[in-house]
Structure 1
Amino acid sequence: MNHSIYSADRSTHLKIVVMALVAGIAVAGFSVLARTTSDEGYTQTARVIKAGKPVAITSATTSTVR
């Protein structure tokens, strides 16, 4: 086995690629398995907001309805 990446042969490059692939799969698998909470309590529902009468806000204490 060569200790320099520049003079490494084909099998050394293949070993590096395989180890990087295995490490990437291990990290992805661990991150999926480490998730402990479920999404059941965090569902969102759509709320309908109906428009009311238009109001113009001024610096005065009263509001003007148009």
Structure 2
Amino acid sequence: MNHSIYSADRTTHLKIVVVALVAGILVAGFGITAHNSSDEGYAQTARVMKAGKAVTITSSGTSLVR
């Protein structure tokens, strides 16, 4: 048994290529299925934030807990 890739025979090279191809397909498939898909598609919608109650800031050193 030879452990060098340079002196390996043709079937060994073919096995390495097939294993790498299958691994690449599995990684790409996992990446596609793990992609966060939403019902909105690629359209962007504006999110509206409404202002709350007005807050008055004073210079006193006391703190107010509500």
- Is the TM value for this pair above 0.5? yes
Which residue identity lines up with residue 37 of structure 2 in the other structure?
T
More helix by share: 1
**C-alpha root-mean-square deviation of aligned residues, in Å?**
2.2
Off by >6 Å, runs of 4+ in structure 1: none
Change (3 A) 1:40 1:16: same
TM-score for the superposition, normalised by structure 1: 0.57
TM-score for the superposition, normalised by structure 2: 0.57
Q: Secondary structure of 1:40's match?
A: coil
Once the two structures are superposed, residues 16-50 of structure 1 have per-residue CA deviations (whole angstroms, 9 ceiling, x without a partner) of 000010010000000001113326165147xxxxx
Partner of 1:36: 36
Q: Does 1:6 align with 2:6?
A: yes
Aligned pair count reads: 45
Percent of aligned pairs sharing the same letter:
78
Task: Using CA pairs under 8 Å that are at least 6 residues apart, name the structure with larger relative contact order, 1 or 2.
Answer: 1
* Structure 2: stretches of 5+ with no match in the other structure: 46-66
